[in-house]
Structure 1
Amino acid sequence: MAAGGDCGGREAACGYDSYRSPLASRYASPEMCFLFSDKYKFRTWRQLWLWLAEAEQTLGLPVTEEQIQEMKSNLDNIDFKMAAEEEKQLRHDVMAHVHTFARCCPKAAGIIHLGATSCYVGDNTDLIILRNAFDLLLPKLARVISRLADFAKERADLPTLGFTHFQPAQLTTVGKRCCLWIQDLCMDLQNLKRVRDELRFRGVKGTTGTQASFLQLFEGDDQKVEQLDKMVTEKAGFKRAFIITGQTYTRKVDIEVLSVLASLGASVHKICTDIRLLANLKEMEEPFEKQQIGSSAMPYKRNPMRSERCCSLARHLMTLDDSANRRICLAEAFLTADTVLNTLQNISEGLVVYPKVIERRIRQELPFMATENIIMAMVKAGGNRQDCHEKIRVLSQQAAAVVKQEGGDNDLIERIQADAYFSPIHSQLDHLLDPSSFTGRASQQVQRFLEEEVCPLLKPYESVMKVKAELCL
């Protein structure tokens, strides 16, 4: 084999004989993979040539209806083998496909690519793909938010231990914690929609963006050149095109696209890290199927493999921020985002909560959290704040020693109940230790957030909410 590799072998290699990206072969959805396929790309090139010819005909250039119909009837008739052979000879992918299209459209051969440059098909196709890829991601993200919103609403009042620095802090609710996840995803939904809606077409600009070739075709008629640009832009489904381009559309567009996808990756990474930590505490689990195996050696294992996958791919997504290698990173970014959203939807549709485990952990920590309330209750009953504080400090240290040194349960409340000093409030202890009294306005915040921010944001996606996420692997 030659040092550069065998082109024919590359063509033939498929299935188990050649490397395939796991994103395409294992994880991403068929519809997202198709968007970045050669078939979709080169079919779109032909569609762009057709739109250009139609607009040129409308504006008076010598393009016949017979030529238009011939192009239309051959949009999907792509001889990939011929195109590969042409590119091998010409070292130019666009001209290879011009020749391939011309072969099956002999009558239209002379007007294909008339006045255009390579970036007319290359860049405009990329922009069409970016727009359509966003259109695949947006409803998927909306469904994830919807599933998590249902989860949050159902558990808005369920107290749970909150953490700072992953150390026990004050109580929150399971629903409130979930709303923190949802809030980040809502920001991502808005940002993805904004970038999608702000995408502009490169349009019909010629080799260096000056439209000189089209000005010559229309014999100096500026208005017709502008009409041509507008007509093709509208045919492609864009509201507007760039007024200024060089050979390419500005790559700032790619940077912004990758930036919002990286931000989505950050959100997913945080959510799934939380789920993995909570799974370790046995408070919450992702779905675990009946026949699923967690470990080949340890039958009891229930590894959070979906959350692990999301975290791993989200980290990858956050690194794809360099548009210089755009042929690789743009496709990878969308396939990765597609995968993490499919997986996260599957997780969110089957999250399992273990209230008894949560309750036990609250009982272990709540006595310490309740000490301030106990002190205030004693002062209201006529006690001295400083004396009470010292009593609580001593008893707390004793209880902590039982937990840390002996591995026992937190018995601070039993010690308080046994101490006659606290007899004025013994009857209040159950009330003072009610977990719901430590969650503040968490449940009200959940209700207001879902009603005022989440529901309006999801309204445009109501028609696609019933789609379930099924994972092949």
Structure 2
Amino acid sequence: MKEYKNPLVERYSSKEMLYNFSPKKKFTTWRKLWLALAECQKKLGLNIKEEQINDLKKHLDDIDWNRVSFYEKKFHHDVIAHLYALGEKATIAKPIIHLGATSAFLGDNTDLILLRDGLEIILNKLINVLFRLRNFTLEYHNTPTLAFTHYQPAQLTTVGKRSSLWIQSILMDIEELEFRFQNICFRGVKGTVGTAASFKELFDGNLKKVKYMEKKLSNKFGFQKIFPVTGQTYDRKVDAQILNLLSNISQSSHKFSNDLRLLQNLKEMEEPFDKEQIGSSAMAYKRNPILSERMASLAKYVISLSNSSAIVAATQWLERTLDDSANRRLVIAQSFLATDAILMIWNNVLENIVVYPKMIEKNIYQELPFLITESIIVKSVKNGADRQEIHERIRIHSMKTNSKMKLEGKENDFIKRILNDEKIPINEKEVNQMLDPKNFIGFSSDQALEFIDKKVNPILDRFHRMIDSNRNLKI
């Protein structure tokens, strides 16, 4: 307990995302790259023996971390440290490991693999958020609720129409995620500054062999596209684009967490609260929205990190400079781990979210009398009254009602005032017909249902295998 522990590791992120950015996955991927490179080189005629290939295969997983640490302290170079540690075990393969390659062949190609695999984990969880919000929207598509602008009561909408706004943000995120996932490229075998000079020498100037090797390596690691040109590294804008995507997902989650906390304050909706959960050490009655708050806190962190990767991309020198390295070790993994945590929390909240229809109805009827004023004017004019005179009398009654409510804590008596005003030609039956909340939701229900049918369901159909695959949520 005397050393700093990363909360993303100890408290928040999933095992699958932690493994994706673990030393084990990173450095076994290095060894797989070394093996695949040697296999291609052998097939293309270089003097590499089958027993050397088999020797490499035998030692893909048995990394001696102590020896790696020893060599890294000695050489101050992580690739050389792993090369020497592997060479001690794979003695037969040692002479041909890393032939023609540079550190970026390992580091950059591995990073692209981890980025791609991380995006798939994120997509999986994001699809589950979409699935749960879709179900929520369908359940409450026709449930009237107060809409707010400037956090002041405005017109009515429906609970499901409001949740369709959260979904709209997610659809934008999924569209961007799919684009990044489908267009991520393999760095390939480009040599020290991107010219593939070492491979030109190895293959006696045969460019076709170099292209063949690069294509085979790319396909072996699941990539259909290869960067046509690079310096020593792939363009660091790729990192900036992907971290910006994670920032966008975080923005969507933060908006949801804001809205839920506001609605929880109104007692209309509530995040899950365990039976023995304690909201406050002092105030025993409190039910604090800690999950939404945690989402918001992590989202702020992810959003801030995206700026760091943009600065790195902007400040690279010529074919490469190493001032990106320490930054990337931190911000890429941290952004993925935090976004992963956000999505797990979001799924948990949606799985157990609570809606209080009676409180929603109560809040509606506190404001609904004011919302029917235009209908009262129209009806009164139809009954022979002067439009401007009715408008003025309604204005006076609404001001007096507001004053009573705010200064004296009285209930809304606006309707009673209207019915008692002999100069407003309208009766109780006509007013009661106006007071049905569903008269004021416009096309909310239709919009929500059409949106789900045309925009959401096709995506869920495409990714149906991912749905509900994250049942064990770490909270």
Bin for the TM-score computed over the shorter chain: over 0.9
Alpha-carbon shift at residue 59 of structure 1 (Å): 0.8
Match of 2:437 in 1: 435
Pair 1:24 & 2:6 matched: no
- Secondary structure of the residue aligned to 2:463 is helix
How many angstroms does 1:466 deviate by?
A: 2.3
Per-residue Cα deviation, 1:327-356 (whole angstroms, up to 9, x for no partner)? 110001100110000000101111111111
In the TM superposition, residue 419 of structure 1 has moved relative to its aligned partner by: 2.2
* Distance in 2 separating the partners of 1:424 and 1:136: 61
Aligned AA (1:44): T
Encode CA deviations 1:149-186: one digit per residue, 9 max, x unaligned. Answer: 10011000111011001111111100011000010011
Deviation at 1:260, TM superposition (A): 0.8
| CA deviation string 1:95-152 (max 9, x = no partner) | 1101111111111001110100000000000000000000101010010011011001
Question: Which residue number in structure 1 is paired with residue 289 of structure 2?
Answer: 304
Q: Is the 8 A contact 2:419 2:426 kept in 1?
A: no
2:372 is matched with 370
Alignment of 1:141-290 (within 5 A): 141-290=126-275
* CA distance in structure 2 between the partners assigned to 1:165 and 1:191 by the alignment: 30
How far off its partner does 1:421 sit? Answer: 2.9
Residue 350 (structure 1) aligns with: 352
How big is the shift at 1:25?
1.1
1:465 CA displacement: 1.0
Normalised to the residue count of structure 1, the TM-score between the two structures is 0.95
In the alignment, is residue 407 of structure 1 matched against residue 409 of structure 2?
yes
Match of 1:4 in 2: none
Letter in 2 for 1:258: L
Q: Distance in 1 between matches of 2:82 and 2:256?
A: 45
CA–CA separation in structure 1 for the residues paired with 2:470 and 2:199: 49
CA distance in 2, matches of 1:464, 1:210: 41
Q: Is the contact made by 1:209 and 1:245 (CA closer than 8 Å) also made in structure 2?
A: yes
Q: Percent identity?
A: 48
8 Å contact from structure 1 (residues 46, 75) kept in 2? yes
**Which residue does the alignment assign to 2:24?**
39
- Which residue of 95, 112, 115 corresponds with 1:127? 112
1:340/1:469 CA distance change after superposition, 3 Å: farther
Instruction: Give the letter aligned to residue 288 of structure 2.
Output: N
Q: Please, which runs of 5 or more residues in structure 2 have no aligned partner? A: 313-326
For residue 100 of structure 2, what is the aligned residue in structure 1? 115
CA contact (8 A) 1:49 1:112 kept: yes
Contact kept in structure 2, 1:342 and 1:469, CA below 8 Å:
no
Contact 2:125 2:470 in 1 (8 A): no
Deviations 1:352-372 (A, max 9, x none): 111111111111111111111
User: 2:115 is matched by which residue type in structure 1?
Assistant: L
Check the 8 A contact 2:271/2:289 in 1, yes or no.
yes
Match of 1:463 in 2: 465
- Any idea what SS the aligned residue of 2:157 has? strand
The equivalent residue for 1:8 is none
The CA deviation at 1:296 is: 1.1
Q: Note the aligned Cα RMSD (angstroms).
A: 1.1
How does 1:389-404 map onto structure 2 within 5 Å?
389-404=391-406
Partner residue of 2:336 out of 311, 334, 337: 334
Q: Secondary structure at the match of 2:41?
A: helix
Residues in 2 aligned to 1:416 and 1:334: alpha-carbon distance in whole angstroms = 58
1:399 partner amino acid: T
Q: Quick one: which amino acid aligns to residue 185 of structure 1?
A: I
Residue deviations 1:253-276 (CA, integer Å, cap 9, x gap): 011011111111111111100001
AA matched with 2:97: I
Separation of aligned partners in 2, 1:469 and 1:178: 22
Would the aligned equivalents of 1:313 and 1:340 in 2 still touch at CA under 8 Å?
yes
Aligned residues of 1:134 and 1:192 also touching (Cα < 8 A): yes
SS in 2 for 1:161: strand
Give the 3-state SS of the residue equivalent to 1:420 in structure 2. coil
Q: 2:60 aligns with which of 58, 75, 79?
A: 75
Q: Which residue does 2:83 correspond to in 1?
A: 98
Contact 1:367 1:413 in 2 (8 A): yes
Choose from 427, 449, 452 the match for 1:450: 452
SS of the aligned residue for 2:229 comes to: coil
SS of the residue aligned with 1:345?
helix
Q: Secondary structure at the match of 2:155?
A: strand
What letter matches 1:234 in structure 2? N
Q: Post-superposition shift, 1:308?
A: 0.1
One-letter amino acid of the counterpart of residue 205, structure 1? K
Could you say which residue in structure 1 is the equivalent of 2:317? none
After superposition, the C-alpha distances for 1:13-37 in whole angstroms (9 at most, x for unaligned) are xxx3421210111100011011111
How many pairs align? Answer: 458
1:5 maps to which residue?
none
AA partner of residue 204 (structure 1) = V
Residue 241 of structure 1 and its aligned partner are, at CA, apart by 0.9
Partners in 1 of 2:128 and 2:359 — Cα distance? 29
With 102-111 and 125-134 compared, the bigger mean Cα shift is at: 102-111
Distance in 2 between residues matched to 1:137 and 1:424, nearest whole Å: 58
Whole-Å separation in 2 of the counterparts to 1:46 and 1:175? 51
Deviation per residue, 1:290-329 (Å, 9 max, x gap): 1111111111110000000000100111011222321110
Shift of 1:426: 2.9
